[in-house]
Structure 1
Amino acid sequence: MTLLRTCLAALLGVMLGANALAQNAGSNTMLDTLFAKLQTATDPVAIQSLETAIWEQWVMVPEGPPRELMLRGIAEMQQHQLKQSVDTFSKLIEIAPELSEAWNKRATAYWLLGNFPASLSDICETVKREPRHFGAYSGLGMIRAEMGEHSRAVAAFELAKKYNPHIVGIDGEIERLKAMGGDTPADPLGCSQRTAGR
């Protein structure tokens, strides 16, 4: 788990450093292209660039209050002002509930605060809006693993790998959790959406 945690911590750094000022036009088409390239990329520099570009697309928000709130919430997280960031992302969710990354950022803040139930709830909202969100699935897998829900952790990590096959250490973690056994629940992610992202 240590290697995977290290990789996810690095992923968190990429997520927080992504350029929230990018333009919103054509983001869905751009995301489709980036995900297609990520599947076949082999060069480590290209892979890192593609991951960063995907995060940049996810943090795109419209001009005005939504953008201001996203930028403020990211800055608060970077400064470890986690409770303030939860409040900020909550305001963003109120005015723009369709933004998957608003939910994911708040889920991350809750996770860092140790509030697993709130984080899980927000992760589920994230993947409803962006079924390819490998960062959200990775976080979901970590939380499920820490809660001893091995089968659900495997399901989440497998989805993270499906959309980003380059997450270092994820194969070993999947195998480790599979070896611990457990029945696959009817709702593999625990999000009341059996087919989310699958």
Structure 2
Amino acid sequence: MDSRIKCATLPNMITRTAFLNPVVAAFAGFFMLAPAQASDLRLSDEVASLLEQLRDPDLEGWHRIERQLVRQWSRSGSASADLLLQRGRDALRRGDSAAAIEHFTALIDHAPDFAEGYHARATAWFMDGKVGRSIADLQETLSRNPHHFSALTGLGRIFEDLSEFDRAQKAYLAAEAIHPHRNDVKAALERLERRLGGITL
């Protein structure tokens, strides 16, 4: 989920799985996520490079890389879909989760392979108190974009709230493997390590 709300084909293409380290891959299997959509199996060189930079724990200026990734993931390739995404986000900022869900559902109907549509609707479901639906949409997000650190962080928060601490830890660890700079994730992992007696799953 987007923490700010609480969230061209190139010649040398790289498969998504090349970027799935063992923690992320194990987490994806843990949830038995649906197979990735065929249209979204590859990363552009730009996104691949941004992910590679973001994984560097010593990276300075990581906020800039994070923003660039979010911008890339927010581009559906359709002007009408992008407009629906923006309208839904505007509704979320107003606190109107019902309107946001309506816009995001229309977006998903229009662009069912667009991961960010599910991520945005997951945030709206969460705001509306529909935790189960939020989890389902976060899983849909990750089936299309397993590098989505905000979706993984959102799952961690939900599972922690539900006292599913082992699942929460797995989610946070997967998010940290992709994006090792977020203080909220580090704090959550420290909190869960204390709660789970220092056992790392």
TM-score by length of 2: 0.75
* 1:94 positional shift: 1.0
The aligned runs of 1:88-99 (5 Å cut-off) are 88-99=103-114
Residue by residue over 1:105-148, the C-alpha shift from the partner in whole angstroms, topping out at 9 and shown as x without a partner, is 00011112221111001000000100010000111000000000
The aligned runs of 1:15-26 (5 Å cut-off) are 15=7
Q: 2:91 aligns with which of 59, 76, 80?
A: 76
* 1:65 positional shift: 2.3
Alignment partner of 1:31 is 2:23: no
CA contact (8 A) 2:85 2:117 kept: yes
CA contact (8 A) 1:151 1:178 kept: no
Alignment partner of 1:112 is 2:127: yes
How many corresponding residue pairs?
167
Alignment partner of 1:124 is 2:172: no
Distance 1:83 1:118 in 2: 14
Root-mean-square deviation (Å): 2.5
Residue by residue over 1:48-93, the C-alpha shift from the partner in whole angstroms, topping out at 9 and shown as x without a partner, is 1011111001100223321221121122112222110101100111
The aligned runs of 1:1-12 (5 Å cut-off) are 11-12=3-4
- Which structure has the higher relative contact order (CA within 8 Å, separation 6+)? 2
Specify the code of the residue in structure 1 equivalent to 2:145.
E
Where do 5+ consecutive residues of structure 1 fail to align? 1-7, 16-23, 189-198
Distance 2:57 2:173 in 1: 19
Distance 2:171 2:87 in 1: 29
In the alignment, what sits opposite 1:195?
none
In the alignment, what sits opposite 2:56?
40
CA contact (8 A) 1:126 1:136 kept: yes
* 1:35 positional shift: 0.8
Return closer, same or farther for 1:125/1:142 CA change in 2, 3 Å cut-off: same
Distance 1:131 1:64 in 2: 24
Where do 5+ consecutive residues of structure 2 fail to align? 11-42
